[in-house]
């Protein structure tokens, strides 16, 4: 049995690939592993871009503002839920970012157990950001589709 293993070992020693592998034993291939925080941030930004209408902006190339009633200009398309302007989608994306940031700040407030004042302030800031994002998105939706 050992004669068979020695024979296999001698054959492998003669091959070019084995000599290279033996030569490079001390060398490790670098492994690039992105951080989980960076991955999550990229996924969040991509999701916000999609939800805010980024694909629609790329495909349709909408106007930034539209003419309104009389001599005024509006940043939204009134009475039409299927169309949007560039400014409207940017505002929607900013409101989504504010909502995600509010959740993050509110989550960070739970880490300050031994500093209740700091935890309370961060919780208030996070909740106010969430409320502003929610009210802003509801207001922009009511501008497009006024309730009867």
Q: What is the DSSP letter of 110?
A: G
The pLDDT, as a whole number, for residue 15 is: 57
The pLDDT, as a whole number, for residue 70 is: 82
The candidate with the shortest Cα–Cα distance to 140, out of 55, 61, 56, 81, is 81
In which element (H, E) is residue 125 found?
A: helix 116-144
The pLDDT, as a whole number, for residue 78 is: 83
Cβ neighbors of 103 (< 8 A, separation 6 or more) are 126, 130
Rounded Cα–Cα distance for residues 54 and 62 (Å): 11
Rounded Cα–Cα distance for residues 103 and 106 (Å): 5
* Contact assessment for residue 120 and residue 140, using Cβ atoms and an 8 Å cutoff: no
What does each of the 148 residues of the chain score in pLDDT, given as a tens digit? Answer: 677 666 666 665 655 555 555 555 555 666 777 789 899 999 999 999 999 999 999 999 998 888 877 888 888 888 888 889 999 999 999 999 999 999 999 999 999 888 999 999 999 999 999 999 999 999 998 988 877 6
* Contact assessment for residue 105 and residue 132, using Cβ atoms and an 8 Å cutoff: no
Rounded Cα–Cα distance for residues 137 and 123 (Å): 21
Asked whether the whole model's pTM tops 0.85, one would answer no
């Amino acid at each position: 049995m050992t004669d068979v293993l020695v024979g296999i070992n001698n054959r492998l020693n003669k091959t070019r690939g084995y000599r290279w592998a033996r030569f490079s034993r001390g060398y490790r291939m670098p492994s690039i592993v992105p951080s989980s925080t960076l991955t999550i941030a990229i996924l969040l930004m991509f999701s916000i871009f999609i939800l805010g209408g980024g694909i629609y902006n790329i495909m349709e190339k909408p106007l930034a503002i539209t003419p309104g009633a009389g001599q005024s200009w509006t940043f939204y398309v009134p009475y039409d839920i299927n169309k949007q302007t560039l400014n409207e989608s940017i505002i929607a994306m900013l409101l989504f970012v504010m909502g995600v940031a509010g959740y993050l700040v509110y989550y960070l407030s739970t880490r300050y157990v031994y500093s209740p004042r700091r935890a309370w302030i961060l919780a208030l800031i996070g909740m106010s950001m969430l409320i502003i994002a929610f009210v802003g998105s509801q207001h922009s939706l009511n501008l497009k589709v006024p309730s009867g």
